[in-house]
Amino acid sequence: MTKVSMRVNGKAVTAEVEGRTLLVEALRGPLGLTGTHVGCDTSQCGACVVHVDGKAVKACTMFAAEAEGAEVTTIEGMANADGSLGVIQQAFQDHHGLQCGFCTPGMVMSAAALLKDNPKPSEAEIRHYLEGNICRCTGYHNIVKAIQAASGQDVAIAAE
Amino acid sequence: MPKDSGIGASPKRREDVRFLTGDGRYTDDINVAGQAYVHFLRSDVAHARIAGIDTSQAEGMPGVVRIFTGADFEAVGGIPCGWQITDRHGEVMQEPKHPVLAHGKVRHVGDPICAVVADTLAQARDAAEAIVLDLEELPAVIDMKEAVKDGATKVHDDLTGNLCYDWGFVEENRDAVDEAIKSAAHVTTLELVNNRLIANPMEPRVAVGQWEKGTGDYTLYTTSQNPHVIRLLMGAFVLGIPEHKLRVVAPDVGGGFGTKIFHYAEEAFCTFAAKECRRPVKWTSSRSEAFMSDAHGRDHVTKIELALDAENNFTAVRTETYANMGAYLSTFAPSVPTWLHGTLMAGNYRTPLIYVNVKAVFTNTVPVDAYRGAGRPEATFQLERVIDKAARELGVDPIELRRQNFITEFPYATPVAVEYDTGDYHATMDKLIEIADVAGFEARAEESRARGKLRGFGVNSYIEACGIAPSNLVGQLGARAGLYESATVRVNATGGLVVMTGSHSHGQGHETSFPQVVADMIGIPDDMIEIVHGDTANTPMGMGTYGSRSLAVGGSAIVRATEKIIAKAKKIAAHIMEASDQDIELKDGKFTVAGTDKELAWGDVTLAAYVPHNYPLAEMEPGLEETAFYDPNNFTYPSGAYACEVEVDPETGKVTIERFAAADDFGNVVNPMIVEGQVHGGIAQGVGQALLENCAYDENGQLISASYMDYAMPRADDLPMFTVDHSCQTPCTHNPLGVKGCGEAGAIASPPTVVNAVCDALQRAGKNVTHIDMPLSPARVWAAMQGAEPTMGAAQPAAGSAGSAEGRSLHGQG
């Protein structure tokens, strides 16, 4: 077991991990942040996307030990300081961009990374960017709309 | 103006807040103090005799608590099947034992052999690697038609063969159908495969078993669509635990799509092992395990014949289907190709004579059971494909051929034993033609041609039977369960309500939509109502969520319980206001006395119910809590019409969906936003089946699509924006909400729409391709184009490369 220290959602944390422990396992286990989900074992589904030093990373693709000293943001760190939903989260609710909610944390984290690099993405750019995030419930229609809305583009509210 | 609350409004989903902030509580998020972890050592071959299991080295490994094998489960029952089919000769189906851990033989890749319980998951996995198995491999039974031949290797040595049942429906019509086909002016025949699929909810299955030494009580946390059903099946048939000593909790569940209906061996294992080990035991499926242990879907091989008279009226339908059961009978498996499929073969059409034959077959593959639509997609696909083919053969417009044969008078009793209460198939077709902009197709096709692409238009109609179902009817058909739904409505003293429902929400948004119904009935805000579901300890016995039944059956139970609440509340109000309860009206949360200015707030009455100082105690008990069990008297029949435009790249065979439109009739709609979301998701799964998804086994029974690298899930850039409409509404006549169910429509109606569109694109380009088996991968479409003759009567193209089973029983197909 080795000790790994990082900052998660702005807080300094430390965990005891094995060399083989994945970042997602450390987040969900010793660090108690179960919002980041595991949907596959081949790094395809994107349910575990978090931000490491500002970049979107599938937390199943790196060892916890590799995050030593890193700044990690998870879905638990995406709400506003007053606890209200952040812009992207709010857009997902407004546009019914989630159903079962399991892929949602990864979707929100990917969407945040996309909008950081591309503040006004087209529908095609959003769809292309989300290639690494699988959703089985929504058919992506409302996820695309939510991300367009979060970027300030004009989108009709769901079912009006 | 859209409403902002109650029935017909689209309030934002309250459950979203926790899902969007990481505060959802899924089963894998539950950790019980002292829990151990189990790892299952699964068969990596399809069929073998277990000659030896040597666990001696593994038992001494660090952290190992105990290693279980099939021998440890000899005293407990097998995993039960919930539906018994009687075949066309009056014989009941063959029903093999399904042990919790394989005993004697393994029968599919993924069949669990040993279960290693250890302090950590990593230790359990490490120890499993040290187990030495001696498996004597046997020939794998993969091809269904080979499986039922004399002398075929048997999946179960104690059965007479691999045929589970040979079902005929309606058997008395068989000769008349044969005669009608013989004497028809035209018969269109189509042989097709409904490809095997894997449901793939994004949350893999999880089970946490717990046993309390002090009380002898068991708790199972599990990823289930129906916790009461699991409690009954596992308690009564597998482990012998009375229901009052067993609590089953299905908390937030990350999608189900059918595959989380069934009772699985891992649930029974964790519950059993918790007592044996005196520790809670947790199992979290990896995605790889999910591929080889979650029940699969579809996998039918079918020949359908459609007979028409000289005026193009449908006169008869005859189908013969081989349905793969896999190695064991999953919970509802036998019902899917029979009662959920045969009864839908009339579709939207006035076909007077129908005969359906289904041979269910055991193979060395993962068990197959209900997946979104369950039987109805298989029925719709055959019918809507053969109608399209008939239209081409006859040179008539596929929409007009459908319209000519539409059922237009309701109620309509089909020749396959169901009665449609309402519908308007012309209305949904009219709406579809409008929203799909059919008039603009030619211009778009020209634009595609200019870019070197082949554009095609596909259309279909569908009907489904939802809201399963009258219990006395399904009992006659072989169900070993009732199919009612339950609700308890508890009104608190201060006026808020808790609605405890037997339905389960795993993405459908019940926590938002169910309160809309109750709020409307009482006239109070939605947020005064809380929904409780998913825990057998605090909900009445319910059958759960599947078959688009939650609102039609579960919602109706809520209506009935709320009606009882209102009736009692009116009596209390009448007492307080010194009036007759016949004169009391409840509107906008206020009780009034007709013809007077007396009024009483909802909260005054609820308080009186629990502080009964001024209360008719001689006539009524205090309190305001009511339960209702709603048992429907018919299925509901959602219907609609779908259209799709595709582009085919003639160089590569790649198909892209350019436009997709759906006009559905779901009867009344409670939350339009949620309904549209359900349709979107169904369309994506239907397009996935048509273009991408294929669960493939090789000829040795090896599962070769066992990860997301090999099984093509629809991604965001595989799909367009969808145009959906639910404004055609013919309310259901027999449930109090007039609702029909919307969860499966997209998955049912989309596959034939897509295949019809691709065939249309190729036909327009002069390629006489009349069918391609799903998924319509670039390789298959390209091969079909190359093999097609530019004249009528071309042979069907081969679905796949020679020598490969491509996922099922393709020998003899075509």
pLDDT higher than threshold 70 for residue B1: no
Owner of token pair 């349910």: A47
Nearest CB to B12 within list A42, A75, A93: A93
Joined together, the tokens standing for residue B202 give: 């994004």
Q: Across the interface, do A41 and B17 touch by the CB < 8 Å criterion?
A: no
Q: Are A60 and A103 within one domain? A: no
Minimum mean pLDDT range among B209-218, B468-477, B785-794 = B785-794
Note down the domain range covering A40. 2-76
CATH number for the domain harbouring residue A69: 3.10.20.30
Q: How many CA atoms lie within 13 A of B360 on its CB side?
A: 32
Which of A28, A100, A140 has the CB atom closest to B203's CB atom? A100
Residue of A nearest to B203 (CA): A39
Whether B810 shows a pLDDT value over 70: the answer reads no
CB atoms A89 and B20 under 8 Å: yes
Q: Which of A55, A76, A97 is the last residue of a domain?
A: A76
Nearest alpha carbon to residue B501 among B538, B467, B465: B538
Question: Which residues of chain A are within 8 Å of residue B657 when distances are taken between CB atoms?
Answer: none
Q: Which residues pair with A52 in a beta bridge?
A: A55, A72
**Window A:96-155, CB contacts with B under 8 Å:** 96, 98-105, 108, 123-124, 126-128, 130-131, 133-144
Residue B530's DSSP bridge partners are B498
* Cβ separation A75–B286 shorter than 8 A: no
pLDDT in the model for residue B814 = 30
Same-domain status, A95 and A52: no
What is the per-residue pLDDT across B298-338, written as a single tens digit (0 to 9) for each? 999 999 999 999 999 999 999 999 999 999 999 999 999 99
B680 CB neighbours in chain A (<8 A) are 138-142
Q: Provide the domain count of chain B.
A: 3
Residue B574 covered by a domain = yes
Give SS3 for B325. Answer: strand
Q: Are A126 and B716 in contact (CB < 8 Å)?
A: yes
Q: Do both A59 and A109 map to the same domain?
A: no
Q: Phi and psi for B220 in degrees, rounded to 5?
A: -120, 120
When pLDDT is averaged across residues B89-109 and rounded to a whole number, the result is 97
Same domain, B446 and B317: yes
Burial profile A11-36: b = 16 or more Cβ within 10 angstroms, e = fewer: eebebebeeebbbbbbbbbbbebbbb
Let me know whether A65 and A11 are in one domain.
Answer: yes
- Model confidence pLDDT, tens digit, residues B583-613: 999 999 999 999 999 999 999 999 999 999 9
pLDDT recorded at residue B5: 84
User: Which tens digits make up the pLDDT trace of B254-299?
Assistant: 999 999 999 999 999 999 999 999 999 999 999 999 999 999 999 9
- pLDDT confidence band for A157 (50 / 70 / 90): low
Could you tell me the CA-to-CA distances from B173 to A111, B312, B317, B318, B354 in Å, in that order?
57, 22, 11, 10, 7
Using a CB cutoff of 8 Å and minimum separation of 24, what contacts does B767-771 make? Answer: B768/B792, B768/B793, B768/B794, B769/B794, B769/B797, B770/B190, B770/B389, B770/B392, B770/B794, B770/B796, B771/B190, B771/B191, B771/B192, B771/B385, B771/B389, B771/B796
Angle CA A158–B670–B737, to nearest 5: 165
When CB atoms are compared, the residue of B506, B680, B709 closest to A100 is B506
Question: Does residue B162 belong to any structural domain of this protein?
Answer: no
Whether A82 is covered by a domain: the verdict is no
Same domain, A70 and A103: no
Q: What type of residue sits at position B763? A: Q
pLDDT in tens, B468-511: 889 999 999 999 999 999 999 999 999 999 999 999 999 999 99
Phi, psi torsion values for A141, nearest 5 degrees: -50, -55
Residue B562, classed as helix, strand or coil, is helix
Query: How many whole angstroms separate alpha carbon A106 and alpha carbon B195?
Result: 30
Residue A158 placed within a domain: no
Please state the separation of Cα B42 from the chain's center in Å.
26
Which two structure tokens, joined as six digits, stand for B589?
A: 């949360």
At residue B804, does pLDDT exceed 90?
A: no
Task: Confirm whether B68 is domain-assigned.
Answer: yes
Query: Cα B82 from chain centroid?
Result: 15
| Together in a domain, A13 and A66 | yes
Contacts of A112 in chain B (CB under 8 A): none
Token pair recorded at residue B798: 């081969």
Q: Which of B630, B649, B682 is the last residue of a domain?
A: B630
Q: Which amino acid makes up residue B289?
A: E
Query: What is the spatial distance between Cα B167 and Cα B175, in angstroms, rounded to a whole number?
Result: 15
Q: Is residue A155 part of a domain?
A: no
Domain boundary among the residues A76, A99, A126 is at A76
- Using CA atoms, how far residue B156 sits from B139, B363, B674, in Å, is 13, 9, 45
Q: Is A16 on the interface with B (CB under 8 A)?
A: no
B534 near A CB under 8 A: no
Show Cβ contacts of residue B482 under 8 Å, excluding neighbours closer than 6 positions: B471, B474, B475, B543, B631
For β-strands B625-630 and B485-491, DSSP reports them as antiparallel
ipTM: 0.98
Question: How far apart are alpha carbons B521 and B523 in whole angstroms?
Answer: 6
Q: Give the tokens for residue B809.
A: 């029983």
Rounded Cα gap, residues B302 and B358, in angstroms = 9
Compute how many other C-beta atoms are within 10 angstroms of the C-beta atom of residue B279: 21
pLDDT at B253 over 60: yes
Residues B310 and B355 in one domain: yes
Rounded-to-integer distance, Cα B579 and Cα B576, Å: 8
3-state SS, residue A160: coil
Tell me how far apart the alpha carbons of residues B259 and B200 are, in angstroms, rounded to a whole number.
Answer: 8
User: Residue B793 to residues B305, B476, B772: CA-CA distances in angstroms?
Assistant: 17, 45, 15
Please give the residue range of the domain that contains residue B539: 484-630
Q: Which residues in chain B are contacts of A60 at CB distance < 8 A? A: none
- Chain A CB within 8 Å of residue B719 CB: yes
**What phi and psi values does residue B85 have, to the nearest 5 degrees?**
-95, 140
The CATH code of the domain that includes B601 is: 3.30.365.10
Distance CA B729, CA B422 (A): 9
**With an 8 Å Cβ cutoff, are B721 and A143 in contact?**
no
Give yes or no for residue B188 having a pLDDT over 60: yes
CATH of the domain at B248: 3.90.1170.50
Q: Which of B582, B615, B630 is the last residue of a domain?
A: B630
Look at chain A and report how many structural domains it folds into.
2
> Does residue A97 share a domain with residue A53?
no
Q: Are residues A100 and A135 in the same domain?
A: yes
Q: For residue B684, is it within any domain?
A: yes
B544 and B671, same structural domain?
A: no
**A47 and A94 in a common domain:** no
Name the domain boundary from A76, A105, A126.
A76
pTM of the model: 0.96
What is the distance between the alpha carbons of residues B272 and B279, in angstroms, rounded to a whole number?
11
B-chain residue closest to A74, CA distance: B22
Same domain for B733 and B676, yes or no, is yes
On whether both B283 and B320 belong to a single domain, the answer is no
End-to-end alpha carbon distance in chain A: 55
Evaluate the omega torsion of the peptide bond into residue A38 and state whether it is cis, within 30 degrees of 0.
no
Q: Do B16 and A98 touch (CB under 8 A)?
A: yes
Considering only alpha carbons, which residue of chain A is nearest residue B672?
A159
B16 within a domain of the structure (yes/no): no
- Report yes or no on A159 lying in a domain: no
- In chain B, which residue's Cα lies nearest the Cα of A103? B202
Q: Which of B2, B286, B680 sits opposite A138 (nearest CB)?
A: B680
Sheet with A55-58, side-by-side order of all strands: A11-17, A2-8, A71-73, A49-52, A55-58
Checking if the pLDDT of A155 tops 90, the result is no
Q: How confident is the model at residue B788 (pLDDT cuts 50, 70, 90)?
A: confident
Is B509 in contact with A99 (Cβ distance < 8 A)? yes
Q: Which two tokens stand for residue B65?
A: 């608590």
CA distance A38 to chain B (A): 8
Same domain, A104 and A40: no
- B622 and B745 part of one domain: no
My answer on whether B267 and B316 are in the same domain is no
Q: B534: which 2 tokens?
A: 């998913």
Q: CB neighbours of B393 closer than 8 A, spacing ≥ 6?
A: B186, B188
Q: CB B20 to CB A96 under 8 A?
A: no
Q: In 3D, which of B680, B5, B13 has the Cα closest to residue A93?
A: B13
| DSSP H/E element including B748 | helix B745-764
- pLDDT, residue B812, reads 35
Query: Which pLDDT band, with edges at 50, 70 and 90, does B794 fall under?
Result: very low
Are B495 and B390 part of one and the same domain? no
Has residue B180 been placed in a domain?
A: no
| CA–CA dist B649, B451 (Å, integer) | 10
Backbone angles phi, psi at A78, to 5 degrees: -100, -10
In a domain, A10, yes or no: yes
- For residue A160, tell me if it sits in a domain: no
Sheet holding B218-222, edge to edge: B64-69, B112-118, B36-42, B281-284, B206-211, B218-222, B246-249
Same domain, B654 and B622: no
Same domain, B284 and B305: no
Q: Are residues A17 and A51 in the same domain?
A: yes
Q: E strand or H helix at B133, and its extent?
A: strand B132-137
Residue A30 contacts B where some CB pair is shorter than 8 Å: no
Q: Which of B630, B647, B678 finishes a domain? A: B630
Query: CA geometry: angle at B684 spanning B710 and B322, to 5°?
Result: 65
- For residues B445 and B334, state if they share a domain: yes
Residues 56-75 of A with CB under 8 A from B: 74-75
Lowest mean pLDDT among B78-82, B682-686, B787-791: B787-791
The whole-angstrom separation of Cα B167 and Cα B174 is: 12
Contact at CB, B19 and A76, closer than 8 angstroms: no
Distance CA B4, CA B11 (A): 6
* Percentage of the residues of chain A whose pLDDT score is greater than 90: 95
Taking the Cβ of residue B672 and every Cβ of chain A, the question of whether any pair is shorter than 8 Å is answered with yes
Q: Name the phi and psi angles at B325, rounded to 5.
A: -95, -15
In angstroms, the CA B218 to CA B419 distance is 44
Is the backbone of residue B405 left (phi > 0), alpha (psi -120 to 50) or beta?
alpha
Whether the pLDDT of residue B697 is over 60: the answer is: yes
Residues in Cβ contact with A20 at an 8 Å cutoff, skipping those fewer than 6 apart: A63, B122
Considering the domain architecture, whether residues B717 and B742 belong to the same structural domain is answered as: yes
* Length of chain A (residues): 160
Residues of A in contact with B198 (CB under 8 A): none
Contact yes or no for B21 and A75 at CB 8 A: yes
B587 Cβ contact list (under 8 Å, min separation 6): B523
Same domain? A106 vs A71: no
In this structure, is residue B11 part of a structural domain?
A: no
Shortest alpha-carbon distance between residue A69 and chain B (Å): 23
How many other CB atoms are found less than 10 A from the CB of residue B658? 17
